[in-house]
A and B are shown apart, each in its own frame.
Chain A
Amino acid sequence: MNAIPREPWREPPIGLLAELTHRCPLACPYCSNPLELTARERELSTEVWLRVLEEAAALGVLQLHLSGGEPTLRTDLEAIVARARALELYSNLITAGVGVSERRLEALAKAGLDHVQLSVQDVDPEGCDRIGGFKGSLARKVAFARAVRALGLPLTLNAVVHRHNLDRLERFVELALELEADRLEVAHVQYYGWALANRAALMPTRAQLDRSVEIVKAARERYGDRLLIDFVVPDYYATHPKPCASGWGRAVILVAPDGRVLPCHAAPTIPGLDFPSVKDRPLAWIWHESPAFQRFRGFEWMQEPCRSCPRREIDFGGCRCQAMQLLGDPEATDPACSLSPHHARIRALAEAEAASAPPPFRYRRLAEPAAAVPA
């Protein structure tokens, strides 16, 4: 462990990811929530969330991402949005859009909501139901998207793509245009949490990935003036790793439903770190000084090849959680990096999984016992 005492970190966070609840009507097998979900009884109260927003704004947070689970299951969402607006935080609702009435949406817009991000599991109705584990989901999502646009709110469609829906990527683009979305996020699955447990069921082939790159490129050329398209490629086929969460404790602060404060979703999978709760500590202390947030800041903790690599300022050595999950060492170079000695093995693993028949989904459900994950 790194025992070097450190100066408090000076840069403020840009975004607060507020995971209001782990409850969700859907059960996506790639959900980024942890395998051990937090039950409703352990969720933070309205009062605490409002205080967290105050503290976040004072700390320098500019954007508030209201997420979950399904954040609209919190009946206090309007109050939370209204407080965000009063604090001039830019509020972004990340929703599955299946159980939200027009009236509810209108109330949220009135409270000052800035943007809606709607997940679409598949553009094929059956596929959408199968992936999300919810009947009749696509029609509800489409109706929800139209209600968002009717209210004049900006809309992003979020398409998480994998081996089961990639062959319909062009239709995702068409749907985004048809619904007059402002943005489309095409995000290959990132293998953490439930997605890691379902990796073999989701991993695309290299050919599917290459085709998705082409489709996104063509769509940007053709519709770039109307639709902003963001694209996240899958780690296992990457050359360089992603700058995960823009670097550990550098830009994002996440508050989990029970109040634990994390640098990213998967951080609790790293053993030996004690993540403080907003119930016990001020957000500012947690961000600037807590040992868990300080742990992978700067470059001293790095091993070779990262330590002497010029790209360390760009990607910060990749993802700590992925290094932990795949190599058992959170200080190792992310094996998504082609310079990692383990890269070839990880890539071969992805190719082998993608070439085999997909196993059935292990759906994301509350109270499922945490089981071993594949390595």
Chain B
Amino acid sequence: MSLAPEDRLVLARGVRVRFDPVRNCHVLLAPERVLFPCPTSVEILGRLAEPRPFAELVAGLAAEFDAPEEEIRADLEGLLADLVAQHVVRVERRGP
């Protein structure tokens, strides 16, 4: 999956991420599913409550972690492809 800068990303319907004090980690709750996302995924998912363009997500994370945008973008594409395949994140595209 390749993402264009203007593609908008958002949590899939019914997905919630929260901290679980019993297990002492973040948990992802979705219909009939519980996942235990890695810290990087938690950081990303926390920014996708509202639809956000891919470029904006990259820029935000690059600023936060003081890393080159190119690097962030490359890392993110793989991770997001995975989250999309798992129906955790949805891509909103304009046009056909």
| Chain A positions near chain B (C-beta within 8 angstroms) | 12, 14-15, 58-60, 62-63, 88, 90, 92, 114-115, 117, 152-154, 156, 182-183, 185, 228, 230
Contacts and interface: CB of A to CB of B under 8 A. Distances in A.
A14 B34 contact: yes
**Interface of B (DSSP majority class):** loop
Most A-side CB within 10 Å, residue of B12, B22, B29, B32:
B32
Contact of B23 (A60, A115, A153): A60
B31 A115 contact: yes
Given A12-B22, A60-B22, A154 B14 contact: yes
Contacts of A182: 12-14, 31, 87
B79 to A, nearest CB: 18
B14 A228 contact: no
Interface of B: 12-14, 16, 18, 20, 22-23, 27, 29, 31-32, 34, 87
Contacts of A183: 31-32
B20 A92 contact: no
Most A-side CB within 10 Å, residue of B16, B22, B31:
B31
25 contacts: A12-B22, A14-B34, A58-B22, A62-B20, A62-B27, A62-B34, A63-B34, A88-B18, A90-B29, A92-B32, A114-B16, A114-B29, A114-B31, A115-B14, A115-B31, A117-B32, A152-B13, A153-B14, A154-B13, A154-B31, A182-B12, A182-B87, A183-B31, A185-B32, A228-B87
A59 B29 contact: no
B14 A114 contact: yes
A343 B18 CA distance: 44
